[in-house]
Amino acid sequence: MLERLKQLEVEALTEVSNVPGLKELNDLRIKYLGKKGPIQEVMKNMKDMDPEERKSVGQISNQVKAVISQEIETKKEALEAEAIALQLANETIDVTLPGRMPAIGTIHPLQAILSELEELFIAMGYTVEEGPEVEWDHYNFELLNLPKGHPARDMQDSFYITEESLLRTHTSPVQARTLLAAKGKGPIKIICPGKVYRRDDDDATHSHQFTQIEGLVIGEDITMADLKGTLLELVRKMFGADREIRLRPSFFPFTEPSVEVDVTCSKCNGSGCSICKGTGWIEILGAGMVHPNVLEMSGFDSKKYQGFAFGIGAERIAMLKHGIEDIRNFYTNDLRFIAQFK
Ligand code: DAH
C-alpha cells in the first residue's frame, strides 16, 4: 500500500511538472486529489487494515496529498505569472513612437486680412465699430447723400426687405450711425469691417455677399494729405514697403472730392503685366473727403469739422495679395483651398 502511495506521488509530480496550462493543471488536481482519485481510493480501504498499518497508511496518504497539493499550488502560481508576463509582452506600448497629431485648422485668408487691417488701424488710434447687416434705407442711402430716386443708387443693386429696409449694400451706413452717436462732436477715428450684399450674379469677380472695411476720420483740420498718408500706410502694410499709390478723381455721393486709389502692381512693379492689364497700376479702393451734406445731416457743423472716408473690398485685397483668381473660393469652404494659407 505504501509503495502504491509513493508511486502515485512520483507520477503526480511528474505530470504536474509537465502540465502545459492552468486548465490541464486543474484536471490533474481532480484526477489525483478528487473524491474519486487513487489516494481517496487507498484511504477507503483503510477500514479493513490492522491498526498499525492503518496508522502509517493514513499518515503517508495525508503527506502525499499535501505534497501533491503544494506542488499543484506552486505550479499554478508559476503558470499565472507566465500568463501575465506574456500578456504584458504582447501589450507593450512604445512610448517613443510619435503621437498622432490632431488636425489643426487655419485662419481663413479673408479673416487674416481683416485681422491685419484691424491691427494696423488700432495701432494708429482707430476704434473698431460694427453696424447691422439688415439696415434702414435711411442710413444705407439717405444720410449718405443719396436721397430716394438718386441715380447713384443704381450703382449698388440692393436686396430690399421692406420699402424702408434692406441688406446693407456697403459698410458706409456705419459712418452715419457713428456721426449721429457722436452728437456733433469730434474727433472720430473708426474702421468698420463687415459683410455687405449686392444683387449681383456670382462669377469669378462678383459675389452677392462680400466684405468691406469702412474707414472714417473726422476732426477740425483733416486734409486730403491725411487721407493719402493713411492709405499709403495701409497699402504698404498689405502689399509691401515699396508700393506707391495714386489717387484718381472719381465720384461717390458721400464724398467730395472723391477718389479711386490705385497701387503699383506688385507683380511687375509698375512696368505692366497681365495682372495689371499692362497699366502698372491696380485699383484697390474708393475714398474721399466726407461731403458737407453728410456731416450736416448727422448733426456736425461742416464749417468746423472735416474728414475723410474710405471703403475697401477685403476679398479684392486678399485676391491681389495671394493671387486668388475666383472670389467664390472664399465662400465654398474647400479645405484644400483654405489649408494653403497655413
Ligand atoms: N461705399 C462705397 C462702395 O461700396 C465705397 C466707398 C467709397 C466708401 C468712398 C467710402 C468712400 O467711405 O469714401 O462702393
Q: Write out pLDDT tens, residues 123-150.
A: 999 999 999 999 999 999 999 999 998 9
**CA 287 to centroid of ligand 1, rounded, Å:** 6
Quote the DSSP letter at residue 298.
T
The three three-digit cell numbers of residue 37, written as one number: 482519485
Decide if pLDDT at 16 tops 90.
Answer: no
Handedness of CA 233, 237, 239, 240 (dihedral sign): positive
319, 119 Cβ separation under 8 angstroms: no
* Alpha-carbon span 56 to 34, nearest angstrom: 21
Shortest-distance Cα residue to atom 12 of ligand 1: 310
**Mean pLDDT on 304-329:** 94
At residue 257, the pLDDT reads 97
Give percent of the chain above pLDDT 90: 61
Decide if pLDDT at 328 tops 80.
Answer: yes
Q: Where are the beta strands (DSSP E) in 132-187?
A: 134-136, 165-167
Residue closest to 43 by CA, chosen among 62, 30, 29, 28: 62
Shortest-distance Cα residue to atom 3 of ligand 1: 170
Shortest-distance Cα residue to atom 2 of ligand 1: 311
**CA 269 to centroid of ligand 1, rounded, Å:** 26
Shortest-distance Cα residue to atom 6 of ligand 1: 311
Which is the closest atom of ligand 1 to the Cα of 311?
A: 8
What residues contact 39, with CB distance under 8 A and at least 6 apart?
Answer: 5, 8, 32, 33, 61, 64, 65, 68
Decide if pLDDT at 155 tops 80.
Answer: no
Q: What is the pLDDT of residues 51-65, one digit of tens each?
A: 888 888 888 888 888
DSSP states of 26-85: HHHHHHHHSTTSHHHHHHHGGGGS-HHHHHHHHHHHHHHHHHHHHHHHHHHHHHHHHHHH
Count of positions (residues) in the chain: 342
Which amino acids bring their CB within 6 angstroms of ligand 1? Answer: 170, 172, 214, 252, 255, 286-288, 309-311
233, 127 Cβ separation under 8 angstroms: no
H/E stretch holding 111: helix 109-123
At residue 37, the pLDDT reads 85
Q: What is the pLDDT of residues 18-54, one digit of tens each?
A: 989 889 888 888 888 888 888 888 888 888 888 888 8
pLDDT-derived band at 1, boundaries 50, 70, 90: confident
pLDDT-derived band at 9, boundaries 50, 70, 90: confident
**CA 285 to centroid of ligand 1, rounded, Å:** 8
**CA 223 to centroid of ligand 1, rounded, Å:** 18
At residue 43, the pLDDT reads 82
pTM confidence score: 0.72
Residue type, 259: V
**CA 133 to centroid of ligand 1, rounded, Å:** 16
Shortest-distance Cα residue to atom 4 of ligand 1: 170
Residue 148: count of CB within 10 angstroms of its CB: 9
Q: Out of 5-14, 141-150, 170-179, which region has the weakest mean confidence (pLDDT)?
A: 5-14
At residue 93, the pLDDT reads 87
**CA 212 to centroid of ligand 1, rounded, Å:** 9
Task: Indicate the burial class of 220 (C-beta count within 10 angstroms; 0-12, 13-18, 19 or more).
Answer: exposed
At residue 4, the pLDDT reads 83
248, 259 Cβ separation under 8 angstroms: yes
**Mean pLDDT on 199-205:** 91
| Rg of the chain (C-alpha set) | 45
At residue 326, the pLDDT reads 93
**Mean pLDDT on 2-6:** 83
At residue 118, the pLDDT reads 97
Residue 258: count of CB within 10 angstroms of its CB: 19
Q: What is the pLDDT of residues 94-128, one digit of tens each?
A: 889 898 989 888 899 999 999 999 999 999 999 99
At residue 180, the pLDDT reads 98
